[in-house]
Structures are given as C-alpha cells and as structure tokens.
C-alpha cells in the first residue's frame, strides 16, 4: 500500500514538489511503520490502516509542500516550527525545497504522535470541548 500510494501521489503532484515529498516520506518511514494511502487528496499515514485517526499527511499546494499533523496541537514544539491550522488540533510544517526538510524534526514529531495516539483517541472529544484538565495532563 505504501510505495504505490507514494507513486500515485507523486504522479498527481507538481514535478518540482516530488523531491520534497520524497524527503518527507523518507523521514516519516524512518520514524514508524505506518501505512499510507491517498485520503482527502493528501498522502496520509496511519497506524494499522486507521486513517480515521491519522498521524500525518503530505499535501502539495501551488506554493509549498505541507506536512499536516492531525493532532499536532498536542505535540511538543520546542523548535517553534509548527504553523497552526484551521482546526483546534491541526499543526503544519511547510517546505519550499528539499533543503528545508528537517528529517530529524519530522522523525521526532512522528514518533511522538504515534506514542500519544491512544491518548488522543480516548480524549479528543473532551479536549475539543475545552476540558483543560485533560488537555494539560497530555503535556
């Protein structure tokens, strides 16, 4: 599923975005044995084929390649690298060239996201509703 999803995604992406996508994909695969599929026009990664609670996804726009973290707001960001998304949980990392891809950063965030997936699945509704006790216990 993984390599074919990557190939299919690259076939539909801007040609100049391909090296960036490949570099991000390699960093994700180095972090965890995730499955990938094209979901919501993104190359999406999940644990055990669970794309409802996906970990991250690569999207290509006209200007950049973005790595979206489904529950990125609940992940550490000591580097200050995340950009906030439109949802309460979504956080993104933006890339404009292969040289800007920090594989170490991606690997750390993916490992952290996988390790906290069960907590997110059990508590996302309470966090969404504003339960600060649950959100702060995640830290």
d(CA 134, CA 16): 42
Contact between 91 and 82 under an 8 Å Cβ cutoff? The reply is: yes
Tell me the average pLDDT across 6-27: 97
Global pTM reads 0.90
Tell me the average pLDDT across 31-60: 96
Contact between 33 and 112 under an 8 Å Cβ cutoff? The reply is: no
pLDDT of residue 134: 59
Lowest-pLDDT range of 1-5, 21-25, 89-93, 117-121: 1-5
Whether 106 shows a pLDDT value over 60: the answer reads yes
pLDDT of residue 26: 97
pLDDT of residue 4: 93
Whether 135 shows a pLDDT value over 60: the answer reads no
Domain ranges of the chain: 2-138
- Where b means 16+ CB within 10 Å and e means fewer, 31-64 reads bbebbbbeeeebbbbbbeeebeebbbbbbbeeeb
Is residue 126 very low, low, confident or very high in pLDDT (cuts 50, 70, 90)?
confident
Phi and psi angles of residue 33, each rounded to the nearest 5 degrees, phi first: -80, 75
Higher pLDDT pick, 65 / 127: 65
Of 3.40.640.10, 3.90.1150.200, 3.30.429.10, 2.20.25.570, the CATH number of 2-138 is 3.90.1150.200
pLDDT of residue 1: 42
Task: Say which DSSP state 77 is in.
Answer: -
pLDDT of residue 81: 96
Contact between 107 and 30 under an 8 Å Cβ cutoff? The reply is: yes
């Amino acid at each position: 599923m993984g390599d074919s999803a990557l190939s299919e995604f690259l076939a539909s992406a801007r040609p100049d975005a391909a090296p960036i996508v490949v570099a991000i994909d390699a960093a994700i695969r180095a972090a965890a044995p995730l499955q990938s599929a094209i979901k919501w026009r993104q190359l999406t990664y999940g644990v055990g084929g669970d794309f409802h609670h996906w970990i991250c996804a690569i999207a290509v726009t006209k200007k950049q390649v973005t790595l979206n973290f489904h529950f990125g707001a609940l992940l550490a960001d000591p580097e200050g690298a995340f950009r906030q998304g439109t949802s309460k949980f979504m956080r993104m990392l933006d890339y404009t060239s292969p040289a800007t891809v920090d594989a170490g950063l991606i690997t750390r965030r993916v490992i952290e996201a996988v390790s906290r997936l069960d907590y997110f699945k059990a508590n996302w509704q309470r966090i969404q509703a504003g339960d600060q006790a649950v959100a702060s216990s995640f830290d």
